[in-house]
Amino acid sequence: ERRALDRLRTAASRTRDGADILLYANAQSHEDVTEAHALGADGVGLYRTEFLFLGRRELPDEEEQFLAYRDLVLGMNGRPVTIRTLDLGADKADETGLVMSGEPNPALGVRGVRLSLSHPTVFGTQLRAILRASGYGPVRVLIPMVTAREEIAAVRMLLSRQAERLREEGHAFRPRLPVGAMIEVPSAALAFPGFADLLDFVSVGTNDLTQYLLATDRDNEALGDLYSPLHPAILRVLREVIAVGRRRGVEVSVCGEMAADPRYTRLLLALGLEAFSLHPNTLLEVRQVVRATDLAALRRRAPALLRGRERSAILRWLAAVNAA
Ligand code: PEP
Ligand code: MG
């Protein structure tokens, strides 16, 4: 079993009928990046920079961040790396004092891009470090917790301001970094057609999207199956975001845990997804499912999936396509 999977390290992520699917890696550590590269990942689709900020009192300075991002870029050896800007909030163990403590509703508070925009100096430092890392290979910038067009415009403005400064200082970097947004809040999913023109790609964060669409805390075990992406509302939103992305020429990937679960690979493919971002742990298993799939036949089963009105119907659909 493991041997059969190991042979897929150098195999293409191509369906039986010849469709190429992008498999990016979610990678934080040096080991993740080495592993992602060894598995033939198409790049890093999600690098969570908050790990550089957690468990310490001092903020990482520009140099420390630059070195970490450059390591990531060099580790992927020419494949694109997607660096998500700081996604701190009162739900994470921040000790730097950046996050407002005692927010009554951390999940709905000053987190993600809201926090970055309220600390322009800290944010500027991060953007400079990201820009400088782009001198060593292809880098994309991903904005977390976007809810409105204005936030994307503000980040783009700050990014070009920092680029202008770096240019004056004579640093080497890529002038126009692709900018993407996380689609992880219902408003962003619904308003996506209204800001697609500002974006080069989007990444759907199904962990938070499930939390916010279903009003289910992602960390509350007592909710059991209520916290699950196998809900008709989630499937409809996913289908819609994927369709808008296709119409507008904006790459859509899914980087939540859902994309890492091989049992859901065909569900996402049926909804039209062409790019996944997942931890290297299950990348080969997902590639194996992709390679064993006839995409055209699967897509014909999408209407039946979308007609499922209950979890049990969606589970039956999954069992049927996974047995095929
Ligand atoms: C998500 O919300 O699905 C996601 C990928 O981001 P995080 O898990 O870091 O919130
Ligand atoms: Mg998230």
Whose C-alpha lies nearest to ligand 1, atom 10?
Answer: 208
Decide: 255 in ligand 1 pocket, CB within 6 A: yes
Helix-then-strand count for the chain, H and E: 14, 8
Question: What residues are annotated to the active site?
Answer: 255
Whose C-alpha lies nearest to ligand 1, atom 9?
Answer: 48
From first to last of the 324 residues of the chain, give the pLDDT tens digit: 788 899 999 999 999 999 999 999 999 999 999 999 999 999 999 999 999 999 999 999 999 999 999 999 999 999 999 999 999 987 777 888 898 888 889 899 999 999 999 999 999 999 999 999 999 999 999 999 999 999 999 999 999 999 999 999 999 999 899 999 999 999 999 999 999 999 999 999 999 999 999 999 999 999 999 999 999 999 999 999 999 999 999 999 999 999 999 999 999 999 999 999 999 999 999 999 999 999 999 999 999 999 999 999 999 999 999 997
Whose C-alpha lies nearest to ligand 1, atom 1?
Answer: 205
Q: Which atom of ligand 1 is nearest to the CA of 184?
A: 2
Decide: 92 in ligand 1 pocket, CB within 6 A: no
Separation of CA 186 from chain center: 16
Cβ neighbors of 246 (< 8 A, separation 6 or more) are 252, 272
Dihedral (Cα; 27, 30, 35, 36), 10-degree rounding: 40
Q: What is the ipTM of this complex?
A: 0.99
Q: What pTM did the predictor assign?
A: 0.97
